[in-house]
Structure 1
C-alpha cells in the first residue's frame, strides 16, 4: 500500500497548449512532461490467451446479472470541464479494482479532482489531457485517494468556468485529502488528512497501431485485455456523438477517425445479422444515449475507436482505513487511545494479483 504521506509534487505552470488550442472540442492533449506511456512487468493477456478463449459476447456491466462497473460519471457538472481522459482513466481503473474484489464489495471510486489538482504537468486539466499521462502521474506520485477525500468539482487551475476562478485547485496536502469541521463563523476550518484511503497503479500501457498494424489482430488483443483484466480506455472522435441518441449501433464509416475524446470500453456484443460492436461507457451522465453507454461497430476503426487503447492494473487499495477524528486532527493510535508503542493494525490494504499468475499456472 502506498504511503499517503508521500511528498507532494509541486504544481507548476501549465503549458500554453492547455489553454489555447486550435480545436476547442479536442480533449486529448499530451503534455511535454508525459514521457512514459507504459510501465509493463506482467505478461500481457495476448501472450497467454488465444482467440478460442474469447466468448462471443462479453459485458462487464452484466456478468450473470451482476454489474462489475463502478458508478456512472458526468464530467460536465457542476460546470463544463474537458476531463474525459481523467474520467476514462480512473473509472476503468476503479472497475478493475471492483472486478478484483469479485464484483461484490462496496465500490471504490477514485478522486478525479485530485488528478486535476496535482497532475497538471503530466496528466492534464479541464482543457484536455491523456489517459497514460494520468497513469504515469499516479504511478510516480505513489497513489490516488478515494473520491471521498476530494470530490469532483470540474475545475483545474487553468479553468475559468462557473465558480472555478473562486476556488483553490493548486496541488497541496489540503487539495489531496481534506475534511472540514464546523461553520467558519463557529471557528471551523478545513484540514488536510494525514492518512487517507487510496489506490495505486502497478502497471499501465497501450494497444495501438504501432503495437499491431493489423486491425483484426488489434481487435483480438483489445478483447483479451478487457476479458482478462477489465475495461480499457479508448481514444475516439467525440464530435459525432454530441447529437447521438443511441438506440442503434454507431456504424458511420465516413466519420473522421481523428480522436478528440476518451471513453471506456466495457465489453462487446454481436447482432443477429452478425455485426459485432463494442459496448462503450461515456462520461456525459446517464441521461445521454443508452443510459450513458453506446455501441460502435467493431473491426473498422470507426471514430478511431481501435486506434489507441490505454489500460492500467491496480497495485493495491485500502480495505480498512486508519481512523481519524471527525475534524481530522487526530488519526491512528491517538484516535482510539492506544499507547504509542502499540502497533496500530487497522490500516489494511489489498494487493492486486494479475490474472496471468493463475492462467499461466493452469497451462
Structure 2
C-alpha cells in the first residue's frame, strides 16, 4: 500500500500536505470482520508497539485510590467542596444518523482524545478526532460491521501516520460495506477529499466543495494490550488496568453488549449473561458502593447520552461480568496541532503549533505527584 504524504514538521507545524499522485491506505489491506466484532482487540495479530514501562510496574496496588474517575476529578483545593470536573471529551452516539457497528472506533478514538485533554489539563479548545476518517481509510481496522480497537491504533501509527480533526470529516456512520440509511449514496473511498474537505462559505461562489491540503491532526506514539491471560491472577489484571487509567487516562475495553440492552442505571451484576465479546467501550474509572462494598468499573458507552446513566454505565468489578475483564487496549498520543498563544495584534504568531505529548511513563514523578495529591484530598491536576 502507498501513502504519498508530504509532512510539514520542518515548519514546526503538525499539519500534513497531500502530495500529488495516488493516496491509498487500503490498497493491499485486508480485514476479516465479524458481525459479532470477534476482532475487537485481536491481539493475536497485534500485541502492541511500545517501549516505555507500563504504569502497573511503578504503581503499587496499595497506592491506588479506592475510587477514581476521569469524568469527575477534583480540580481545586477541597475547602468543603468536593465537586469535580470531567476530563473526558464529548460523548457520541455511534448509531446516528443510522446504524453503524463502529463501537471499536469510538472506543479507540475517544480514549486517545481524552488523553490529549488530560495532558493539556483541560485547557484550550477540546480536540476531537475524525472517526469517519478511520471508516473511510482504515479498512484494515474495521467498518460499520465490526473492527478492532488496537488495529485502529496500528493503522494511525503505522499506515496513515496521523488522524485529522473531526472538523475535516464529521461522523456519517457509513463505511464501504454499509447499506443502512443514506450510506449507499455516500462516497467512503479513501481519497484526499474524504480525509479533509470543506465547501465554499458563500453561495454566490457556487457552494463547491474541495479537499483541504493542510489539516490539523494528531498522531499515535505507542499502543498496547492488557490480556487477562498474561497475568497470574485476575486481581493482577485489574491492578494493571487501574494503574493505566490513573496514570495515562481512559482505556478501551470489550464485553458482551447484548446484556446492556435493557440497562437503565445502577451497578450491572448479572453473572448469567454470556461473556463473548460483541461490543467495545472505554473505562474511565472505578468506584465502590458505600453500602454494599461492591466494587465497579465506570464505563462510557457510545449509544448517546439518553442511554444508561447519561451515556455511562457501572459494572461490577472482579467477577468478569459480560467478559469485561479479559482484554483492554490503550494508546498514547504522539503530537497534535493546537493554536498558538498569545496571538499578535497584526495576526502574526497566530498559526497552529505542534505540541508533543509527555507520557507519564517517561516521567513517573507526574504520577507520583498525582497520587500524593489525591491521597491528601487535593486536585490531581495541578
**Structure-1 residue corresponding to 2:146:** 128
Which of 229, 244, 268 matches 1:250? 268
Which of 41, 57, 64 matches 1:54? 64
Contact conserved, 1:27 with 1:83, CA < 8 A, in 2? no
**For structure 1, which segment, 43-52 or 217-226, has the greater mean C-alpha deviation from structure 2 after superposition?**
43-52
Correspondence 1:29 to 2:39: yes
Question: Pairwise CA RMSD of aligned residues?
Answer: 2.6
Contact conserved, 1:237 with 1:256, CA < 8 A, in 2? yes
**Structure-2 residue corresponding to 1:188:** 207
**Structure-2 residue corresponding to 1:326:** none
TM-score (ref. length: structure 2): 0.82
Which of 272, 278, 299 matches 1:260? 278
**CA-to-aligned-CA distance 1:252-300 (integer Å, 9 cap, x gap):** 1121111100000000000022110000000000000100000000011
**For structure 1, which segment, 353-362 or 128-137, has the greater mean C-alpha deviation from structure 2 after superposition?**
353-362
Distance 1:33-1:113 versus aligned 2 partners, 3 A rule: farther
**For structure 1, which segment, 81-90 or 50-59, has the greater mean C-alpha deviation from structure 2 after superposition?**
50-59
**Structure-2 residue corresponding to 1:43:** 53
Query: How far, CA to CA, are the matches of 1:186 and 1:308 in structure 2?
Result: 52
Query: How far, CA to CA, are the matches of 1:13 and 1:127 in structure 2?
Result: 20
**Structure-2 residue corresponding to 1:239:** 258
Residue 34 (structure 1) shift = 9.1
SS in 1 for 2:172: coil
**CA-to-aligned-CA distance 1:195-235 (integer Å, 9 cap, x gap):** 11101100000101232141010000000000000000001
Distance 1:227-1:31 versus aligned 2 partners, 3 A rule: closer
**CA-to-aligned-CA distance 1:98-135 (integer Å, 9 cap, x gap):** 00001233210110000000001x21000100100100
Give 1 or 2: higher strand fraction.
2
Correspondence 1:197 to 2:234: no
Which of 163, 188, 193 matches 1:144? 163
Distance 1:315-1:269 versus aligned 2 partners, 3 A rule: same
Query: How far, CA to CA, are the matches of 2:228 and 2:111 in structure 1?
Result: 21
Contact conserved, 1:144 with 1:200, CA < 8 A, in 2? yes
**Structure-2 residue corresponding to 1:224:** 243
Query: How far, CA to CA, are the matches of 1:186 and 1:345 in structure 2?
Result: 28
Contact conserved, 1:182 with 1:189, CA < 8 A, in 2? no
**Structure-1 residue corresponding to 2:86:** 67
**Structure-2 residue corresponding to 1:341:** none
Query: How far, CA to CA, are the matches of 1:43 and 1:207 in structure 2?
Result: 13
**Structure 1: runs of 5 or more not aligned:** 322-335, 339-343
Residue 173 (structure 1) shift = 0.5
SS in 2 for 1:227: helix
**Structure-1 residue corresponding to 2:17:** 5
**Structure-2 residue corresponding to 1:357:** 362
Contact conserved, 2:31 with 2:142, CA < 8 A, in 1? no
SS in 1 for 2:274: coil
Distance 1:194-1:9 versus aligned 2 partners, 3 A rule: same
Contact conserved, 2:200 with 2:208, CA < 8 A, in 1? yes
Contact conserved, 2:41 with 2:150, CA < 8 A, in 1? no
SS in 2 for 1:71: coil
Query: How far, CA to CA, are the matches of 1:128 and 1:320 in structure 2?
Result: 35
Contact conserved, 2:130 with 2:167, CA < 8 A, in 1? yes
Distance 1:10-1:57 versus aligned 2 partners, 3 A rule: closer
Distance 1:300-1:34 versus aligned 2 partners, 3 A rule: closer
Distance 1:236-1:31 versus aligned 2 partners, 3 A rule: closer
Aligned pair count reads 337
Query: How far, CA to CA, are the matches of 2:254 and 2:137 in structure 1?
Result: 23
Correspondence 1:168 to 2:187: yes
Query: How far, CA to CA, are the matches of 1:62 and 1:99 in structure 2?
Result: 12
**Structure-1 residue corresponding to 2:334:** 315
Correspondence 1:117 to 2:129: no
Correspondence 1:83 to 2:93: no
Query: How far, CA to CA, are the matches of 1:34 and 1:161 in structure 2?
Result: 31
Query: How far, CA to CA, are the matches of 1:280 and 1:42 in structure 2?
Result: 26
Contact conserved, 1:204 with 1:313, CA < 8 A, in 2? yes
